[in-house]
Amino acid sequence: MALIDDKGRLFGRVNLIDVALVISVLVVAALVFVVLRGQGKVATVREDKAVTYTMIVKEIRPDVASFIKKGDLVKKQVTMGPVGKVIGIKIKPAEEVLETADGGKALSVSPTEKDAYITVETKGRVGIDMIATGNEVLRVGDRFNIVTKWFMGDAVIIDMVVAGD
């Protein structure tokens, strides 16, 4: 019996074009597997650094300021991603810089409104170009709406300390 018969079939049973097609499909599938098997891996960085930062919420009413509580979980309103736990609160009279009639500037203190300085602690990842907790990146100057169990307000991070840095 011949390896290839007069009709071009292998061992008289399988067409050579069909064999070439099956081998080609298997080679392509193997290449796709080899190339893609390394994709989708996520490098995990442990959130083991203690990050403490202070936010200011400006010009709020005194009765609203009383709803910021120690121990409350703080989240960013847009993503509802947690960004830490309140460990300290200082309520001070609201201050604002105003222009004077002669073109200068003066510091004005509100008799009614308050500024809330909220200290938050969290565990975070610290890289060469960012500090993050969960999926939330934290930077001094970052402005976002915060949400706690009882309070919502527009906050700006004004100070940040990473333990060990």
Tens of pLDDT, residues 92-140: 999 888 898 998 999 999 889 999 999 999 998 888 888 888 888 899 9
Neighbouring CB atoms inside 10 A of 149's CB total: 11
Q: If you average pLDDT over residues 71-99, what whole number do you get?
A: 92
Of 2 and 112, more confident: 112
Task: Determine which of 34-38, 58-62, 146-150 has the lowest per-residue pLDDT on average.
Answer: 34-38
State the maximum Cα–Cα separation within the chain, in Å, rounded to a whole number. 111
Using CA atoms, how far residue 149 sits from 32, 53, 85, 121, in Å, is 49, 19, 11, 16
Amino acid 38: pLDDT = 66
